[in-house]
Amino acid sequence: MISCCNSLNVNSPFLLTNYSQQLKSTRHPYLHQSKLQKRNSDGTTRGMKVVAYYGLKTPPYELDALEPYMSRRTLEVHWGKHHRNYVEGLNKQLSQNDILYGHTLDELLKVTYNNGNPLPEFDNAAQVWNHDFFWESMQPGGGDMPKLGVLQQIEKDFGSFTNFREKFILASLSHFGSGWVWLVLKRQEKRLAVITTSNALSPILWDDIPIVCLDLWEHAYYLDYKNDKIEYVNVFMDHLVSWNAALGRMARAECFVNLGEPKIPVA
């Protein structure tokens, strides 16, 4: 923990900065300042308002690390422009709304969703959350088959990995308009399921636990695949999806949902 007026976890999604300062760091989005002061014309100092903004998280790999399946150019536009715009738009909205200040990003999604009557801040907040999750759902050298208990749970809930793969691809291609396709763990039903959400909606709004996510917005694939959505989805499953990330997410999910057998190993 780092002391900064109040204690703050260094892995928090908040960015401490001057109230009017722009988010400039992409490699280190979490900056911490213990005290901000401004010197007056008479030489005295007075404290300035310290606020916490959400930072633009860097993908867990270099921007060209997913090539040739997802180009550096796509990452520069998708993450570097679209995702950044959502972060900056959200921070601008929050700077004008003290009521929403201080929530974690998960909490902010649920509060701004407002039981199905979204507040103006919802779209930006949800897009930031979804994009963070999407980048972390991929890895260099991804694809292939899931491992260990994740594969066993997929086989248990879908009958086989092939059935799951076909269901995931069909859901992606059947979804109309912009949105997302997810592999989620249903808390109440205690099983994995494939679902899609439209626009910026996220499964956490209905208490599902996301395991894998694919962005279906056109800007996610147009530069590399034009209108060939089928190729994009197949490439994601064959070469990009991070089953290592899925393994960690399933292990954490079992802290909240008793799946019985098989047990997902932590390590």
> How many angstroms separate the CA atoms of 255 and 122, rounded?
28
> How many angstroms separate the CA atoms of 84 and 74, rounded?
14
The answer to whether residue 130 scores a pLDDT higher than 60 is: yes
Burial class (CB within 10 angstroms; exposed 0-12, middle 13-18, buried 19+) of 138? buried
H or E stretch covering 37: strand 37-39
Using CA atoms, how far residue 225 sits from 29, 68, 82, 132, 234, in Å, is 31, 11, 18, 22, 11
> How many angstroms separate the CA atoms of 244 and 146, rounded?
8
When pLDDT is averaged across residues 110-137 and rounded to a whole number, the result is 97
Q: pLDDT per residue over 59-108, tens digit each?
A: 999 999 999 999 999 999 999 999 999 999 999 999 888 888 788 999 99
The whole-model pTM stands at: 0.80
Using an 8 Å Cβ cutoff, are 240 and 138 in contact? Answer: yes
pLDDT band per the 50, 70, 90 thresholds, residue 258: confident
When pLDDT is averaged across residues 167-181 and rounded to a whole number, the result is 96
H or E stretch covering 244: helix 243-253
List all residues 6 or more positions away from 35 whose beta carbon is below 8 Å from its beta carbon.
5, 47, 50
pLDDT for 125 equals 97
Tokens for 248, please give them. Answer: 């960690």
pLDDT for 52 equals 53
pLDDT for 41 equals 52
Using an 8 Å Cβ cutoff, are 154 and 164 in contact? Answer: yes
> How many angstroms separate the CA atoms of 157 and 267, rounded?
22
The answer to whether residue 257 scores a pLDDT higher than 90 is: no
Q: pLDDT per residue over 5-54, tens digit each?
A: 333 333 334 333 332 333 333 333 322 222 233 444 555 445 445 455 79
Using CA atoms, how far residue 266 sits from 40, 78, 151, 248, in Å, is 55, 32, 14, 7
Candidate from 12-21, 121-130, 219-228, 229-238 with smallest mean pLDDT: 12-21
> How many angstroms separate the CA atoms of 36 and 24, rounded?
18
Mean pLDDT of all residues in the chain? 83
The answer to whether residue 4 scores a pLDDT higher than 90 is: no
pLDDT for 254 equals 87
Q: Which CATH number fits domain 72-256: 1.10.10.10, 3.55.40.20, 3.40.50.720, 3.30.70.1400?
A: 3.55.40.20
> How many angstroms separate the CA atoms of 8 and 164, rounded?
41
For residues 252 and 41, the model is more confident at 252
What is the 3-class SS of 98-129, one letter each residue? HHHCCCCHHHHHHHHHHHHCCCCCHHHHHHHH
